[in-house]
Amino acid sequence: MKKRLLIVGGVAAGASCAARARRLSEETEIIIFERGNYVSFANCGLPYYVGHKIKIREKLLVATPDYFKRRFQIEVRLEHEVTAIDRGKKTITVMDLKSGQEYTEQYDFLMLAPGARAVKPPVKGADIQGIFTVKTIPDADDILDWISRHKVHDALIIGGGFIGCEMAENLHELGIKVRIVEMLPQLMPQVDAEMAWFIHSHVKQSGITLSLHTKVMEFERDSESTICVTLSSGEVVKTGIVISATGVRPDTALAKEAGLAMSPSGGITVDNYMQTSDPAVWAAGDAVESIHVLSGKPVLLPLAGPANRQGRLAADVMMGTNPEPFRGVQGTFVCGIAGLTVASTGLGERNCKDSGIQYEKIYLSPYHHAGYYPGAAPVTMKLVFSKPDGKILGAQSVGMEGVDKRIDVISMAIQNNGTVYDLEQAELCYAPQYGSAKDPVNMAGMIAVNILRGFHPVAHWDDIKQNRAFILDVRTKREYQNGHYPDAVNIPLDTLRNELDKIPGDREILVYCLSGQRSYYAVRILLEYGFNAKNIPGGYMFYRDYDEYDE
């Protein structure tokens, strides 16, 4: 009567499923088939292993086959690739990659956790030596080996997403000159363009070269240790190593061939119990399509957190424990590059536009802890919320400290359908070295609530181009002299009440300062005196970069 659970893929979703299934059932026979050489390894750690931050290779092995055997009575078959599923007979065909022999195994439950495959740019020369992806431990080994054998001084990274950025940081810290080539006009396309400008300026300052809006056209071997890379700009770059980090694609060949339902996004279709179109087959992790909780739209989200929870949930369902369904994904992420932290949760402005969701947005840049305590660093945040109900749609943040904390708090708020009123009233940890009496999360909520309640009319830089408003800069004279919006008139906040006669009463007044706080005060004064004033949240901090981006 022993039932059999066979699992295809033994990293995040597969390993989680296996361990959970064992905890729920001692009876079930559980076998993991992994085509690679390692099971349950720390693939998110690979860039840091390359960068010698993780110094001990064994640390990457979160759990070994021996551990699975010893602790969980789970059999792991490494270098065994599942090549076919016979859903009628409930069997899989397995290829032992070492011996080349094929065999079949019977299942009661089949779990597909094949993950995703790294995509290499489909250009000429993409298969020459010295071009690497970063998906597996052998990949990392190969990169380190290549770097040391060829005494690599220059690296070219294709793709400015998470892996590209993390590899850039790590190679840079090894003393290698790094260039990131990204075909989009920005790094980390998961955040909106104006938030990415902060990443760009930080990355450039750290000494990493950026080639945005640029494609790779061709690779050519120059010498044994040099590769010539032709860019769409016409530039030809010589480099010692190429890291291809242009994204991943769900590894669905097996599922497709077995006739399981596939989603338009390219992932395996599953319900919110991770069940595929075949009731004896489950799937989880990078290979499945998920539903975004805020847009209701299908997305591919190759991240470890959801993968682990999905794998675990699938085991619950198989073992009949009747768990809560998977709620969908929010797209929460964090990525570090050269000391900067970038994090986000929920929908960005671009996503809202794409999904036709009505939204308002604000920007703020408060310190991560009390300004009077040494080391205070700005947390630059963008909050997107719906009007008029104030439901939180998403938040993005960049900064050196305290960024992940604020995004995690807002992610939790989103999880429970939170509004900006919840952020306003949040009671968060405060002591001067940890936060502020009004935490950045409170500040974001307060600003948004002021907008919803009508005290804080706002406009955005994009709006200005379309109207003939009076642009008022309420920063100090010195700040103004160092750079300002072309047509802006400067009246510092503290003298505004005495110079109201300089403000036209028959036009819209758009007010800005450096970040949006002083200009908010100014708007309040102007509104009280009967002017038609609006604030530009984010202020000059965002104008300057906006302009730069436009070029």
Binders in 201-220 for its own copies, by CB under 8 A: none
429 carries an active-site annotation? no
Length of the chain: 551
Q: Which residue type occupies 286?
A: D
Q: Give the one residue of 190, 246, 308, 386 binding its own copies; rule: CB under 8 A.
A: 308
Cα four-point dihedral sign 219, 223, 224, 226: negative
Q: How far is CA 302 from the centre of its chain?
A: 10
Query: Which residues within the stretch 24-43 sit at the binding site for its own copies (CB under 8 A)?
Result: 24-27, 42
The interface region with its own copies, picked from 59-67, 215-223, 238-246, 265-273 by CB under 8 A, is 59-67
**Interaction of residue 370 with its own copies, rule CB under 8 A:** yes
Question: Residue 231's beta-bridge partner residues?
Answer: 216
Q: Give the one residue of 276, 345, 380, 517 binding its own copies; rule: CB under 8 A.
A: 345
The answer to whether residues 164 and 157 touch, using CB atoms and an 8 Å cutoff, is yes
Cα four-point dihedral sign 339, 344, 348, 351: positive
The interface region with its own copies, picked from 242-250, 251-259, 331-339, 475-483 by CB under 8 A, is 331-339
Count of other CB atoms within 10 angstroms of residue 236: 13
Q: Which one, 133 or 419, has the nearer CB to its own copies?
A: 419
Look at residue 144 and give its three-state secondary structure: helix
For the CB of residue 229, give the shortest distance to its own copies in the complex, in Å.
Answer: 28
Q: Which one, 90 or 382, has the nearer CB to its own copies?
A: 382
d(CA 238, CA 274): 46
**Interaction of residue 367 with its own copies, rule CB under 8 A:** no
Q: Give the one residue of 5, 85, 335, 533 binding its own copies; rule: CB under 8 A.
A: 335
The interface region with its own copies, picked from 359-367, 442-450, 463-471, 537-545 by CB under 8 A, is 442-450
Query: Which residues within the stretch 68-107 sit at the binding site for its own copies (CB under 8 A)?
Result: 70-71, 73
d(CA 155, CA 173): 12
d(CA 254, CA 93): 11
Q: Give the one residue of 5, 6, 7, 12 binding its own copies; rule: CB under 8 A.
A: 12
The answer to whether residues 337 and 199 touch, using CB atoms and an 8 Å cutoff, is yes
The interface region with its own copies, picked from 1-9, 241-249, 350-358, 370-378 by CB under 8 A, is 370-378
The interface region with its own copies, picked from 45-53, 130-138, 225-233, 235-243 by CB under 8 A, is 45-53
For the CB of residue 424, give the shortest distance to its own copies in the complex, in Å.
Answer: 8
Q: At 547, list the tokens.
A: 């302009």
Q: Give the one residue of 359, 421, 540, 543 binding its own copies; rule: CB under 8 A.
A: 421
**Interaction of residue 135 with its own copies, rule CB under 8 A:** no
- The catalytic position among 44, 165, 228, 352 is 44
Q: Give the one residue of 33, 38, 48, 367 binding its own copies; rule: CB under 8 A.
A: 48
**Interaction of residue 493 with its own copies, rule CB under 8 A:** yes
Query: Which residues within the stretch 261-280 sit at the binding site for its own copies (CB under 8 A)?
Result: none
**Interaction of residue 387 with its own copies, rule CB under 8 A:** no
Nearest Cα residue to 362 out of 448, 455, 471, 452: 448
For the CB of residue 428, give the shortest distance to its own copies in the complex, in Å.
Answer: 5
Q: At 96, list the tokens.
A: 């032992």
Nearest Cα residue to 317 out of 276, 288, 285, 286: 276
**Interaction of residue 364 with its own copies, rule CB under 8 A:** no
> For residue 519, what are the contacts with CB-CB under 8 A and spacing of at least 6?
472, 474, 493, 511, 512, 513, 535, 536, 539
**Interaction of residue 54 with its own copies, rule CB under 8 A:** yes
Q: How far is CA 195 from the centre of its chain?
A: 13
The answer to whether residues 50 and 143 touch, using CB atoms and an 8 Å cutoff, is yes
For the CB of residue 44, give the shortest distance to its own copies in the complex, in Å.
Answer: 5
For the CB of residue 71, give the shortest distance to its own copies in the complex, in Å.
Answer: 6
**Interaction of residue 435 with its own copies, rule CB under 8 A:** yes
**Interaction of residue 327 with its own copies, rule CB under 8 A:** yes
Nearest Cα residue to 485 out of 454, 442, 519: 519
The answer to whether residues 470 and 464 touch, using CB atoms and an 8 Å cutoff, is no
Under rule CB under 8 A, how many of the chain's residues touch its own copies?
A: 95
Cα four-point dihedral sign 187, 189, 190, 194: positive
d(CA 513, CA 516): 6
Residues assigned a catalytic role: 44
